[in-house]
Amino acid sequence: MTDTDWRHDRIGSAHRGRNPTVMRRLEAGFAAFGDRQFLPGYSVLLTDDSAVTRLSDLPRPRRMAYLTDLERLAEAVERACRRLDPAFRRVNIEILGNTDPYLHAHIWPRYDWEPADRVRLPVWLYAEEFWRGEQYAPSGRHDALRAAIGEELDALAAPGAQSATIGST
């Protein structure tokens, strides 16, 4: 298997420790750093079972574990992005499944510095150049953010960890 083959089997390569986007193994999936970082901190929660194509395929206990992992990753992205960029606004969470046939969820950080004609719209309306341009591929300039998301995932997994957003307005 070559180093580029992981893109053709993201879940299998994650299980084998060969998917370089994986930040952490969670209870029901893998927290992965997104392939494009035009919105820095973009992350994906991959299911840990490539046969699962939709949330409803999971038995309820596994479904709840996946959704708990999703909430944890979304909060980790929120905490890390808020800490590192004062223009952070919020995260958007989406489970689409229109392109890749396995269950996965997108966590998109949104920022005040986004163009006015995009900041309030779905991220999918960004031009093709953002999705294909190599300037948006993860690189060393994203190492601190990726590490911060991992640290937040660890902190949120700690016994007694409590959501910072509970009770906030």
Q: Residue 100 domain-assigned?
A: yes
By CB atoms closer than 10 A (0-12, 13-18, 19+), residue 9 is: middle
CATH code of the domain containing 16:
3.30.428.10
Mean pLDDT of the region 52-81: 97
How many domains would you assign to the chain?
A: 1
Which residue segment(s) compose the domain that 124 sits in?
A: 5-157
Q: Residue 163 domain-assigned?
A: no
Could you tell me what percent of the chain has a pLDDT over 70?
92
pLDDT, mean over the chain: 90
**Nearest CA among 41, 45, 153 for reference residue 94:** 45
Mean pLDDT of the region 18-44: 96
Q: Residue 167 domain-assigned?
A: no
Mean pLDDT of the region 36-62: 96
Judge contact between 81 and 101, C-beta under 8 A: no
Per-residue pLDDT tens digits for 76-103: 999 999 999 999 999 999 998 888 889 9
Q: How many CA atoms lie within 13 A of 166 on its CB side?
A: 5
Q: Residue 168 domain-assigned?
A: no
Residue 94, beta-bridge partner list: 106
Judge contact between 71 and 91, C-beta under 8 A: no
